Amino acid sequence: MRYLVHESQISEIPARQSYLYDIFRLYFLPGKPEGSFIPLLPVGEKGSNALFITGHNDQVSRYLTEFINDIPEKRIVITSCLGLSFSSLPRKKEVFVPRNAPFFCFLRNGRSFGFNFLISDAELNFYNSHGDFEAKLNTAYMKI
């Protein structure tokens, strides 16, 4: 499992590490940059077979265009606006986009919810959902 944060969100990394620990009970450390993204990698366990990527639509599109053939994870979970624009990705991967906002994903002030970063409804839903990884994923994201 990897969780990619765009370099423009570098100041959010400590808050996102805390967010990820709360969800997965795994510590995540920054890895070597991949294009303009910084991967947060779990320590010890590998976690699920998923790549989480968060960023603006153009940033995520550029990353996926460049690296799609090198992504080892079977699932790509995208938190970005215009989620349905990613439906043209190669069908070699399962692609998930925000369930409640497939057309446009709004960001909220995370401080109102106890987070120190701008957070989407999908991220909030993933955080607050119950069950195993599959249940959380299917609550907050939809497969396209």
Q: What pLDDT shows up at residue 105?
A: 77
Contact predicate 38/5, CB 8 Å: yes
30-41 tens-digit pLDDT: 999 999 999 999
Rg, C-alpha atoms of the chain:
14
What span, in angstroms and rounded, lies between the C-alpha atoms of 40 and 140? 20
- Confidence class for position 4, pLDDT limits 50, 70, 90: very high
Q: What pLDDT shows up at residue 102?
A: 58
45-79 tens-digit pLDDT: 776 899 999 988 889 999 998 998 899 999 999 99
What residue ranges do the domains of the chain occupy? 2-143
